Structure 1
Amino acid sequence: MRIVADENIPLVNECFGDLGEIIRLPGRNMTNEDLQGADALLVRSVTQVNAELLQGTPVRFVGTCTIGIDHLDTAYFDNQGITWVSAPGSNANSVVEYVYAALAHLNVDWKGKRVGIIGCGNVGGRLYRRLKAQGVECRVYDPFLSTEQIPELTSLTDVLGSDIVCMHTPLTRSGPHPSVHLLGAEQLKQLKPGAVLLNAGRGPVIDNQALLNHLESGADLKVVLDVWEPEPDISRPLLEKVALGSPHIAGYSYDGKMQGTFMIYEALCRHLGRTPEKDLSALRPSVADPQRHWAGGEPWPAIQRLVPQVYDITEDDRQLRELAERADRGEADFAKGFDRLRKEYPKRREFGNYRVTGDYSEEARVRLEALGFRVK
């Protein structure tokens, strides 16, 4: 069996090595010729997998180690009898921690704020439950859910009136509730002054040109963008205007990537009629220095000091802006650099790998656990 895999997927050899020959290639540059003789294809979100890529190849299994599937032509797969799978929820925790890190850097304590969540699936749902555990007031817009599932379900207009608006919806262009340009010029005007708008779902869910126009008009809005329209050659004027920008890496924790790989490994085993023999806990490397100290005092300032010790989001922002500056001087190709930042992204480990010690109150303990840290 021959397996072609995106070179950025971790633990590929460890998980799939016993199943066949593995060929690792750059995900964005895969061609039909690369797949001649391949039985299975493993990708991430940068590879557009469609008839053009697969036609005339023996590929019978496509697995994306990501939660999103807008890069997959699933109708074509179904028509051709090609098994396809994704990894829903694999990086949900990573994205939630990205939200926490962004808000901590912006000094916006979600406790005492009203948080609006657009899209309450694996990622938005986890964020919702974590915030509710801390007593945070939430409002949710998701036309595919009911109030029985989410009591705080409401209209998009109501959600846009929140202090913090987090977007975690997939990208859809058809159906009863398409998400493409869900936020356009009119919706952006509904955001309250001083609000935070964070998109860690898919770039085209916000009309990026309308957002740039809105910010250039002097809107009082803190914007955090991990996803853009289009990628990888994003709007650099928009990057200049946002409070934090990153190269589509919110879900790029090493733990989330490993979970995604393992989910696809289990799916390929099912496809082949084999029993999975690997154990992710045995494959996952431990953290060299897993202990962090609680500095004491009021919870919020202590959280602001603690979070960057594990994940410093400002480094992602710095590297993207530095790339833009070099591209403006003609010293770098921005699109290639954007992909390189993703390819060479450091092994960010999730909060759950760290134990927080020290003297903390019951309120602090609840918040630390909701953040995902281990406590005594």
Structure 2
Amino acid sequence: MSADESPDVVVLRQKIHGLPSEGYAETLRERLPDRKNVVRARTPVEERELLREAPVATGFSIPEHVLADAENLELFACVFAGTGHLSMEAFEEQGVAVTNAAGVHGPNIAEQVVGSLIAFARRFHVAWRQKERNEWRSYQTTELQGSTVTVVGLGALGEAIVDRLDAFGVETVGVRYTPEKGGPTDEVVGFDDEQGFHDALARSEYVVVACPLTETTRGLLDANAFKTMDPDTVLVNVGRGPVVDTEALLDALRGNAIRGAALDVTDPEPLPEDHELWGFDNVLITPHNAGHTPKYWERMADIVAENVEKLDAGEDDFTNRVV
């Protein structure tokens, strides 16, 4: 960037899923050819200076004291789907619109969920253990087809999961804040419908958590919920760890009250090396890794480029706007 050029889009230094932000900047330049000066900040000083001039910034977060000096900033594109780490009040006071990365994770996380369901249905964990012992011995399995899957959360992620389950011949129940809106599932119940929610849990072979962490969802899968589930139920959590009460989950696993769990997120997180969850043969743990995909920056850049064009046109109905 020459001395007389002002940045149009600033890519902050923060990385995500081990992907360097330079790749993000390069992809944005491709999406905005010959129109936008996309600059990647390399140091804290550069970041502060660029944010004072740029109308658009994208990254994980902007500290409040830095945001206060970003006089020209109009849009911040957060590269996370969750924005609970941001001070929304500060952005509102500054008059800066905020968007998130909803939908970017859809294909990869949905594939992880489907993979987890198939792994438990076909009991691949048993095969791995027997392979380690060079043991050729038949074992019983089940089918995913004909089962009932409850998906807790019908946002972009939940919808992507349901879309991929369609080919497997399963019954689906969706849980959302506004059940009157319906959804892609065979049935929809509300978070505040205790009877409907527990009825879904009682008849589901698989319960998939794909919702954000809110006051409503914190501890939603508690001891009472596990008591309702059938012993053949598998829990899959790709949402947020605290949506599931860890002690209640441990009690359920200890007492064989559920068939098992596939956890990409935990509470606490990272999961300590000596945590009891590591010791269960019927618990698959991945280190908050479902969101990783080499296509992350491509999908994120598509959203940002579309919103930059809207900003240029004087529009403010930004895709994925949260503030």
The answer to whether the 8 Å contact 1:171/1:204 transfers is: yes
Q: Which amino acid aligns with 1:42?
A: T
Distance 1:24 1:33, change over 3 A: closer
Per the alignment, residue 347 of structure 1 pairs with none
CA distance in 2, matches of 1:230, 1:60: 36
TM-score normalised by L of structure 1: 0.61
Does residue 54 (structure 1) correspond to residue 67 (structure 2)? The answer is: yes
Q: Which amino acid aligns with 1:98?
A: Q
CA distance in 2, matches of 1:180, 1:78: 26
Does residue 227 (structure 1) correspond to residue 227 (structure 2)? The answer is: no
Distance 1:203 1:272, change over 3 A: farther
Structure 1 stretches of 5 or more lacking a match? 26-30, 275-376
Per the alignment, residue 113 of structure 2 pairs with 99
Q: Which amino acid aligns with 2:241?
A: G
Q: Secondary structure at the match of 1:11?
A: helix
Further displaced range: 54-63 or 181-190: 54-63
1:78 paired residue among 92, 97, 104: 92
1:114 paired residue among 141, 145, 148: 148
1:238 paired residue among 254, 264, 277: 277
Displacement of 1:53? 6.0
The answer to whether the 8 Å contact 2:144/2:168 transfers is: no
CA distance in 1, matches of 2:247, 2:208: 19
CA distance in 1, matches of 2:84, 2:198: 26
TM-score normalised by L of structure 2: 0.70
Per the alignment, residue 22 of structure 1 pairs with 40
CA distance in 1, matches of 2:311, 2:247: 43
Displacement of 1:119? 0.8
Distance 1:139 1:251, change over 3 A: same
The answer to whether the 8 Å contact 1:111/1:135 transfers is: yes
Post-superposition Cα deviations, 1:52-75, rounded to whole Å, max 9, x if no partner, equal 663444454321223332233333
Displacement of 1:195? 1.3
Per the alignment, residue 287 of structure 2 pairs with 247
Larger Cα Rg: Structure 1 or Structure 2?
2
Output aligned runs, 1:268-347, within 5 Å: 268-272=308-312
State the number of aligned residues.
262
CA distance in 1, matches of 2:236, 2:66: 33
Q: Secondary structure at the match of 2:225?
A: helix
The answer to whether the 8 Å contact 1:4/1:23 transfers is: yes
The answer to whether the 8 Å contact 1:32/1:52 transfers is: no
2:209 paired residue among 167, 172, 177: 167
Distance 1:55 1:263, change over 3 A: same
CA distance in 2, matches of 1:147, 1:84: 25
Distance 1:180 1:136, change over 3 A: same
Q: Secondary structure at the match of 1:183?
A: coil
CA distance in 2, matches of 1:234, 1:273: 49
Distance 1:233 1:99, change over 3 A: closer
Distance 1:89 1:14, change over 3 A: closer
Per the alignment, residue 35 of structure 1 pairs with 48
Per the alignment, residue 331 of structure 1 pairs with none
Displacement of 1:237? 2.5
Displacement of 1:222? 0.9
